[in-house]
């Protein structure tokens, strides 16, 4: 079950479509969907989590807490809408495109993809692009 929670005025335009898309990626990756909670928030909210739980005193667009067991995916994914907006400007892409990339990025981590090395980051970007292409067909 995918849940969307809001700690800011932001709301997804079509949460049913996004939920179905996320579920389809989980199935494509041969994983099982358990409870996945998205929390859309602002920079301050996410910064506090970053400091408290990860000991990182920086701004970020996403923090995910992965409670998955094997291929049974579950966890909490926090997304700073402010950071996504700034990153969209920096990368010269539409806000929704960047938001969708960040949304699926967290799920791909749960599926086992990493992004610490150049090779892993390249594979992660490929998987993100495949997922974004699928969303365009839904």
- Is 55 annotated to bind a ligand? Reply is no
d(CA 2, CA 33): 8
- Is 56 annotated to bind a ligand? Reply is no
Tell me the CATH number at 22. Answer: 3.40.390.30
Give per-residue pLDDT as tens, 73-130.
Answer: 999 999 999 999 999 999 999 999 999 999 999 999 999 999 889 999 999 999 999 9
- Is 109 annotated to bind a ligand? Reply is yes
- The number of distinct structural domains making up the chain is 1
Give per-residue pLDDT as tens, 35-45.
Answer: 999 999 999 99
Domain residues for the domain of 71 are 2-137
d(CA 89, CA 49): 24
Residue closest to 110 by CA, chosen among 32, 5, 50: 32
């Amino acid at each position: 079950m995918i849940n969307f929670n809001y700690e800011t005025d932001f709301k997804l335009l079509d949460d049913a479509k996004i939920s179905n898309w996320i579920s389809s990626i989980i199935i494509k990756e041969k994983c099982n969907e358990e409870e996945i909670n998205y929390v859309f928030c602002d920079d301050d909210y996410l910064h506090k989590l970053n400091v408290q739980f990860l000991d990182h005193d920086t701004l970020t667009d996403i923090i995910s807490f992965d409670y998955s067991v094997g291929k049974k995916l579950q966890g909490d994914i926090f997304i700073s809408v402010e950071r996504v907006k700034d990153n969209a400007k920096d990368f010269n892409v539409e806000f929704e495109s960047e938001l969708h990339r960040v949304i699926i990025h967290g799920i791909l981590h749960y599926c086992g993809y990493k992004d610490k090395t150049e090779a892993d980051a390249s594979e992660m970007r490929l998987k993100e692009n495949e997922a974004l292409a699928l969303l365009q067909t839904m």
